[in-house]
Amino acid sequence: MPVPVFNDRVAAVRSFNRFFTRQIGVLREGLLHSEFTLTEMRVLYELAHHGDQPSAALCRDLGLDRGYLSRIIAKFESAGLVGKVPSPTDGRAKLLHLTKHGRAVYEPLDRRSREEVGDMLSRFEEADQLRMLDAMRTIRQLLDAESGLKYAQPFVLRAHRPGDMAWITRRHGDIYATQQGWDRSFETLVGQICADFERDFDPALEHCWIAEMNGQPVGSIALARSGEEGVGKLRLLLVEEQARGYGLGTRLVDECHRFARAAGYRKMRLWTTDQQKEARHIYQNKGYVLVDEEPVHAFGKDMVNETWELDL
């Protein structure tokens, strides 16, 4: 390629960079009219949506210098936004977490950020919104060189919020009725699992993740207490048809395991059936072992209930 042509392309990328940062307003020192910089908001976002984690993980995931992150954390600690707790798996390590005050400060900012983006998108017709999202996905796929995949993962994970359990229940019912021919008793079961999870929710020991693609939920998983000391339950794994093929199911299981280890669980346990081929494949690849099976007639079908376990 001739040097002048390549230089023109470099200039075009730099020009787009300046244009885009002006559009989204990230050059403002106080993001969303708050006291926080963009980098500080990224740290708050990671702690709010991915649970307790060591500072080394934040450095890696955000690409931050260790000293720079330490100064941010010190500022947050003095403001009562972030605290440190001993790691349940390594007494020498500390995990960072948002305090109750920190979450109260972060959530209005996160809500305002979503509103800002929503206002921007609402200026465009539906077709133009989809064109913009496709262009963003293409850029991410081409630039992400660290995922180990040919293309970047076009989804994001977040903690569950009000309304998500209803979505999980409905989509389980829809998908398994359509793809497996299961009756409505399965949706009833999922609804009960979700209701129990919400009623007894302990954020120190439990978590639910929602995967989003183009701003829409496309997957879920939950870590719940089993009632047995040191044993966590993997529940509610779901991946929508349009989100398959990107490694989303594996990513959800990995996030569940990471949280479980940090929370001090020694073993994971899950229930599935012999009909859930794709999920069973993920579990086997992650080292789960089949420990019990029982032929049953459930949800209007003959199937085999299976219990799988994994030592963490």
The pLDDT of residue 149 is 41
As given in the structure block, the two tokens for residue 225 are 């207490």
The pLDDT of residue 278 is 87
As given in the structure block, the two tokens for residue 150 are 């040919």
- Domains of the chain, each with CATH number or no CATH: 22-123 (1.10.10.10), 155-311 (3.40.630.30)
Residue with tokens 């398959």: 244
The pLDDT of residue 78 is 92
Strand partners, 224: 233
As given in the structure block, the two tokens for residue 15 are 């020009």
Q: From CA 11, how far away is CA 17, in angstroms rounded?
A: 10
224, 207 in Cβ contact below 8 A?
no
| Exposed e or buried b per residue across 262-299, where buried means at least 16 C-beta atoms within 10 angstroms of its C-beta | bbebeebbbebbebbeebbebbeebebeeeeeeeeeeb
The pLDDT of residue 305 is 95
**Phi, psi of 301, deg, nearest 5:** -135, 155
Strand partners, 211: 157, 219
Q: From CA 27, how far away is CA 100, in angstroms rounded?
A: 29
Q: From CA 149, how far away is CA 162, in angstroms rounded?
A: 33
Strand partners, 247: none
As given in the structure block, the two tokens for residue 244 are 């398959």
Q: From CA 28, how far away is CA 38, in angstroms rounded?
A: 8
Report the chain (312 residues): mean pLDDT per 10 consecutive residues: 79 81 55 71 85 79 77 91 79 81 88 80 87 80 54 72 95 93 95 95 93 86 94 96 81 93 94 92 94 95 95 92
The pLDDT of residue 231 is 96
pTM across the whole model: 0.54
- Residue 167: name the closest of 181, 187, 184 by CA: 187
